[in-house]
Amino acid sequence: MKVERIIPVKVSSQDAVIYALRAAKKYRPDAEAVEAKYIGGGSFGRAVEVRFADGDEKIFKFLCAGGMLEKEVYDLRLLKENCTVKMPSVIFASEKCGGIPVDFYCMEKIEGRPAFYDRKLFFGGKKKRAEFAGEVIEGLSSLHSRTSPKFGDTLHPVFTSWRECYGEFAEAVLKEAEKLYAEGELGKKIISAMRAAWALYDDIFATEPEQAVLIHGDLNVMNIMVDSAHRVSGFIDPLNSMYADREYDLFQFRNLTGKRFRLAETYFGNHGASPRSEDKLAFYGLWNEVFCFVRSGVLIPLIMNPLVKNMERRIKLL
């Protein structure tokens, strides 16, 4: 994973719809696309739902940065093979081509909407939320039962120890963060929390995970889909999937919704927690958010501020 600023190709939601219609023509020259609707996207992705005259519905995802396509498609296929929760199958992938200036792929549509938008699930009873957490953790555990002799990227796992594998990434993120702090782009509170946490790295990561397991890498409540009965209908959008510490797949659970769904708690209840699990989760969460900021230049205070506070709290307790 390169830790550096990525300048994306500008693709507005309207552009994405136009590109999706062009891509749809290539995919099915026989059928007319009767509707194309922008359904979301983050720093580098744009997703468009296309409906054809015969009722067929597909999702076209556009990647606004180069070099992402091969890994995203590889990981979607690998994860789908190993997950008991439905994941979209990739129908075809294409590098940028005439009329479409970014790489893209076409995939199966997962029913429902992201769990984050299911207000009834969020505000509804404890029992529903516990059922939801149980389903998410069962699916995630199926992924985690796929192991590898080495830690590292799914395409190229080379590390014999997690501390070494993650340490290389963590150090690179800290180095970039120091640069951004010196340039006035990153706040004092963030860099101070990172420096203090980095000084404790060997303590926090003293216990090696027993195994390198396949992780989704971005399983937050925006990438967990639920149907109209509030049941889990799919996992989407893996990012930086690796063979990693299993707990490296848990820190995103508390982004945006805190501990409301008790997802990490349910995972720990089923699998046990490592000695420094909460310190690691704090570290993983903060480092990942700074990594996202390094790459995209976008800082989301609603996510970043609680992560900094949590890291400070954990350091005080150590």
Ligand X SMILES: Nc1ncnc2c1ncn2[C@@H]1O[C@H](COP(=O)(O)OP(=O)(O)O)[C@@H](O)[C@H]1O
Which residues contact residue 277 at a Cβ distance below 8 angstroms, ignoring those fewer than 6 apart?
A: 247, 268
User: Does 139 interact with ligand X (rule: CB under 6 A)?
Assistant: no
- Segment near Mg ion (CB under 5 A); pick from 30-38, 127-135, 216-224, 292-300: 216-224
Minimum CB separation of residue 107 from Mg ion in Å reads 13
Largest CA distance in the chain: 64
Q: Which of 72, 237, 279, 289 binds Mg ion (CB under 5 A)?
A: 237
H-state helical runs in 53-182: 69-82, 119-123, 126-144, 162-182
Q: How many CB atoms lie within 10 A of CB 159?
A: 19
- The token duo for 21 is 């219609």
User: Does 289 interact with Mg ion (rule: CB under 5 A)?
Assistant: no
Between strands 103-108 and 57-63, the pairing is antiparallel
Which residues contact residue 168 at a Cβ distance below 8 angstroms, ignoring those fewer than 6 apart?
A: none
- Segment near ligand X (CB under 6 A); pick from 5-13, 103-111, 139-147, 281-289: 103-111
If DSSP codes are grouped into helix, strand and coil, which group holds residue 157?
strand
User: Does 72 interact with Mg ion (rule: CB under 5 A)?
Assistant: no
Minimum CB separation of residue 10 from ligand X in Å reads 15
Identify the DSSP state of 100.
B
What is the pattern of x (binds ligand X, CB under 6 A) and - over residues 18-47? ---------------------xxxx--x-x
User: Does 152 interact with ligand X (rule: CB under 6 A)?
Assistant: no
What is the pattern of x (binds ligand X, CB under 6 A) and - over residues 49-88? ----------x-x--------------------------x
Q: Looking at this protein, which amino acid is placed at residue 37?
A: K
Binding site for ligand X (CB under 6 A): 39-42, 45, 47, 59, 61, 88, 107, 109-110, 114, 222-223, 236-237
Binding site for Mg ion (CB under 5 A): 223, 237
